[in-house]
Structure 1
Amino acid sequence: MPQGQWSRKRERQYEHIKASAKERGTSEDRAEEIAARTVNKNRARAGESKQASKSSLRDMSPQERGGKRSGRPGPRGRTKDQLYAEAQRRGIKGRSQMNKKELLDALDR
C-alpha cells in the first residue's frame, strides 16, 4: 500500500488493479503506477482526498474510460485539458489561446 491514508476498500482496489495489469504483461513498476493513479483518481472523484486536479473531478472515471485515451494520436488522443496541462508544464507561450490541434502541434515540436 503506497498511501497510509487509503481505506481497506482502496487497498483492495489497488491490489486488484495491480494484479490485473501484471497479468496483461505490464512490469511491476508500471503496474504499481497504474494502480496508484487509478485509486487516487477514484478517491478524488469520491471526495476522499485533500487535493484533486480539475481533470480528476470533471473527467470520466478510469473504469468508464477503459483505455479510450491512452495517449495515442487521433480522435482517441489526450483531452484538451491534458494537452493544456502538459503545455503549462513545458512553459509553452500562448497556450491559453490555442485550440486542441494547436496545443498538440506545439507539444510535438
Structure 2
Amino acid sequence: MPQSNGSGKRERQYEHIKDSQKKRGASTSRAKEIAARTVNKNRAQSGESKTASKSSTRDTSPQKRGGKRSGDRQGPGGPTKDQLYNEAKKRNINGRSKMSKQELQQALGR
C-alpha cells in the first residue's frame, strides 16, 4: 500500500482499484500492484509525494487514460499474433505453434 498523508482517500482508492481488478480476474498480487501504481501516480500528480518522475507528473492520469495503453489493447491491425496464440492455447487448439497470424485467426473463427 502506498504511504498515506493522513487522509483515507488514497486508502479507499487503493482498495477500490484492488477489488475491481480482482473482480476482473487478476491475481491478488497483480491487483495490488496495479492499485499501488495507480494510487502512486495520482499522488505524484497532485503533489502529495516527495519525489516524482516527469512521466508521472506530465502524463495523463490512469483514470482519464482509461486503459488505452494496457497490454490487452488490440490496435488497428487487430490482436497481435502473441495475443491470438495465447487465446488458441487457452482453447487448446492443436498445431498453434506452427500457425501464422492469419491461420490462428481462422482457427479461432475470426
- TM-score over 0.5 for the pair: yes
After superposition, where does 1:28-107 map in structure 2 within 5 Å?
Answer: 28-71=28-71
Larger-gyration structure (1/2): 2
Q: State the distance in 2 between where 1:27 and 1:69 align.
A: 20
Q: Which has the higher helix share?
A: 1
Q: How many residues align?
A: 74
Partner of 2:21: 21
CA shift for structure 1 position 68? 0.2
Query: Considering only aligned residues, what root-mean-square deviation do their CA atoms show, in Å?
Result: 1.8
CA contact (8 A) 2:22 2:31 kept: yes
Structure 2 residues not aligned, in runs of 5+: 77-110
User: Is the 2:44–2:57 Cα contact (8 Å) retained in structure 1?
Assistant: yes
Alpha-carbon offset, residue 3 of structure 1? 3.3
Determine helix, strand or coil for the equivalent of 1:64: helix
5+ long unaligned stretches in structure 1: 76-109
Q: CA shift at 1:73, angstroms?
A: 8.4
- Is the contact between residue 2 and residue 40 of structure 2 (CA under 8 Å) also seen in structure 1? no
Distance 1:3 1:16 in 2: 14
Identity %: 73
- State the alpha-carbon separation in 2 of the partners of residues 25 and 38 from structure 1: 18
Structure-1-length-normalised TM-score: 0.62
TM-score, normalising length: structure 2: 0.61
